[in-house]
Amino acid sequence: MTTHEEGKLTEYIRSKDFRYTIVAILVFLGIFLLVSFLWLKLYTHHGQELAMPDYSGYQYDDAVKDAARKRFRMSIQDSLHILGKPGGEILKQNPAPGSLVKSGRMIYVTITKRSPDKILSGRLPELYGKNYERKKRELEEHFEIKSRIVDTKYDPGDPGQILEVRYKGKALMDAKGRDNEVQIEKGDYLEFVISARSGGKVEIPDLRCKTYEEALFLLENLGLTAGDVIKDGSIEDLNSAFITEQDPPADGSMIDMESAIKLTISMSQPGDCP
């Protein structure tokens, strides 16, 4: 570079144009760095992981507002009816409370229904004459219907069999048939009357003219027993002996189950037997 050129460069560096250019460059760099910093801060905040709040027990509308303030979204995934709980209450959520999630994450919740689903009684399986414990499990697992025993009655069959089904006091199924048009609320109770081999009353059977073996069979089926046996004359074969008298007599009255009936037997059948 010649002495003349060096002089011009020195003169330019000392000029106002050079100073303005340097200031402009510095201002540009400052603005660029500021914009870059703000963008980086905004990007980092957008991807920040936040702790998920616990919305269990909240009313859904209130939870939606709170979630929006905390930069979350909310959607109903499922709804259930639970006796004793108001409708719209959040039962569970996904993601779980305390989870670290990104801002804007969707929260899926299960809430309570204000009114229960209903099932037509015609959809229920046959219940009359079936084992109560088995049907209780089936109703709970497949229909979300609960069961409770409200009474027992004597029946000569196996104990624990369903004799009557009621819903809200109304007969639903029994020996006469079934009503298939009743709306049953899920989560509600069906009421059952089941069979028992004791604890009831039966009509006193007429045992006269029957053999001792036949009388024992009938007594057993009715839940009764043979009491004292009085032998009238010589008894060669107990089972084939005839009942000539009984106490108490068969007069149409009722007797407690498991009671004993006193019998008088003879090898000769009474003369008035058919």
**d(Cα 250, Cα 6) in Å, to the nearest integer?**
145
DSSP 8-state class, residue 241: P
Quote the pLDDT of residue 110.
94
Mean pLDDT of the chain: 86
CATH number, residue 234: 3.30.10.20
Q: How far apart are CA 222 and CA 224, in angstroms?
A: 6
87 and 22 in a single domain? The answer is no
Regarding whether 78 and 125 lie in a shared domain, the answer is no
Residue 53 — pLDDT band, cuts 50, 70, 90? very high
In-domain check, residue 124: yes
**134 contacts 117 by C-beta, under 8 angstroms:** no
232 and 187 within one domain:
no
Between CA 95 and CA 28 the distance in angstroms is: 46
Residues 182 and 132 in one domain: yes
Question: Do both 37 and 56 map to the same domain?
Answer: no
Quick one: 132 and 165 in the same domain?
yes
Same domain, 192 and 217: no
Q: Per-residue confidence at 154, pLDDT binned at 50, 70, 90?
A: confident
For residue 271, being part of any structural domain is answered with: no
Average pLDDT over residues 174-199: 89
Residues 258, 212 within the same domain: yes
Q: Which domain holds residue 33?
A: 3-46
One domain, residues 105 and 132: no
The residue ranking higher by pLDDT, 185 or 167, is: 167
d(C-alpha 231, C-alpha 21), whole Å: 139
Q: Residue 273: inside a domain, yes or no?
A: no
Tell me whether residue 274 is in a domain: no
Residues 25, 67: one domain? no
Structural domains in the chain (count): 4
For residue 272, is it within any domain? no
pLDDT of 247 reads 96
Identify the band that residue 32 occupies on the pLDDT scale cut at 50, 70 and 90: confident
173 plus 214 within the same structural domain: no
Q: Closest Cα partner for 214 from 235, 178, 181, 243?
A: 243
